[in-house]
Chain A
Amino acid sequence: MTDPYKVLGVSPSAGDDEVKSAYKELAKKYHSDNYVNNPLADLAEEKMKEINVAYDTIMNERRNGRSGQSSSGYSSGYGTSSGSSQFADIRRLITQNRIVEAEELLNGIPAQNRDAEWHFLKGNIFYKRGWLDEAFRSFTTAVNMSPNNMEYRAAYSNMARQRGGAMNGYPGGYRTSDTVNGCNGCDMCTSLVCADCCCECMGGDLIPCC
């Protein structure tokens, strides 16, 4: 087995707090939220498992010399809630990275049946291919057509944040545009919408009108 300290990038003499914060830093990087529908989602999940095991191993060793396995750890894999989807088979193809087939099926849907989900799935196909501009446009359409859908909104606001300059793994946390040119109106709006989404996830509401 690989050295758990190496996995977390800390020395064996590091204190518990140091181990914990190194673990948290990595867990934030590999978090499944950053890789929803990303073709590299498997790899990210694997890395997450690796650091979970490493963290547990270190903590258990320190707590009781050895043995036992319990523990904390960020869960990996949120799983996209598909709900009752009329495009279940297309979703499956997308998850399996079979985007050519998925796109063919999707394009076969007649124009009058192209709802918010259709645009969302189209966006996912673009996204997997790396066609980020079209992906962002499709997600925007999906959100406009169905503003209450959490899945579409998460995809949209994630990209909106990146368009504002957010990057994953920036040493010392997420890089946001304000390190370069301050917080602009666009940032504020997306942050608010983001906060609203989070509130609504937990049953509350921040912006009553949306």
Chain B
Amino acid sequence: MKMAEFEVYQSAYCGLCRALGKEFGPFARLTLSYDYAFAAVFKMALTDSGFCGFEKGRCLVNPLKKKVFCRPNADIDFIANIAMLMMYYKLKDDIADSGFLKKLKYFIALPFVALAKNRAARRYPVIDRAIARCMDRQAGIEQEGVSSIDLAADPTAQALSVIFAEFSGNEKQKAALSRFGYLLGRWIYIIDALDDLEDDLKEKNYNPFLLSPTQDLDAVRKNAEGVLNLTAGEISNAYVLIDFGKFKPILDNVIYLGLPVMLKNVNNPQRSRKNDRSL
């Protein structure tokens, strides 16, 4: 990636951080990851976006350094709202999954997050419902111990499908975005499952890959690689039909280089520690 292109990414991240702090309070900034920066750049890259340039400012975390921010715009606010919704459902999920002490900690955070979530949900009820439904279905799938990768990935995929379809008002573009979102969500779910393979085996957690007929982890990894490549191939078929007005090289970079490299990293057993899996 060229330096200038990285700066766009960085400025989307900083812009989001500022929007989250302003709209939902300082704790909301904690939920930010580069996944949302990708979503923001993607949203701003679409032809019908509200992107309105950059500006320089100071960062709260590192006030000595001047950073480039995306000027506040509708796209950044939109993604910030989605991040808030995600944070709420993630927190609820964590409460269900963790031990007593952690539960307590999360419970203290919950009312604040719930407040912010309600505000976001009022603005984007369709997305809120889609994520809620995804979490419900996911819980059911884990309880049943579903072994089909396709079915296991479906709730996440459906949620991202709804979210990406909301990125544009144009009916035809919605169709392409919806399929793109579905496949991207599927890809993300599968690569997370692959990344958690060893941990889930140790802790006896649900993981669709561990329920496949073969118990040989290398074979599982090899097959997962095929599944992910196939998904990325289909992502690219939807991707080329989406109309972008700008930032296309940055997105190309993520789609054509980022996805395969991430797969390679996750599937490399010698890596020292968990890579961060952000797009």
Contacts and interface: CB of A to CB of B under 8 A. Distances in A.
Interface in B212-240: 226-227, 229-240
A164 B183 CA distance: 17
B176 interface: yes
A93 B154 CA distance: 23
Contacts of B186: 130, 132
Interface stretch (A10-18, A39-47, A57-65): A39-47
Contacts, number: 92
Contacts of A44: 241
B266 to A, nearest CB: 13
Contacts of A168: 233, 236-237, 239-240
B252 A130 contact: no
Q: What is the predominant secondary structure among interface residues of chain A facing chain B?
A: helix
B233 A162 contact: yes
Of residues B154, B176, B236, B239, which shows the largest number of chain A Cβ atoms within 10 Å of its Cβ? B236
Contacts of B234: 130, 132, 162
Contact of B237 (A35, A165, A177): A35
Given A40-B179, A165-B260, A132 B231 contact: yes
B76 to A, nearest CB: 27
B150 A134 contact: yes
B240 A169 contact: yes
Interface of B: 148-151, 154, 157, 172, 175-176, 179, 182-183, 186, 226-227, 229-241, 252, 255-256, 260, 264
9 contacts: A34-B237, A47-B241, A132-B230, A159-B230, A159-B233, A166-B233, A167-B233, A171-B252, A181-B264
Interface of A: 29-30, 34-35, 38-40, 43-44, 46-47, 126, 130-134, 136, 159, 161-171, 175, 177, 180-181
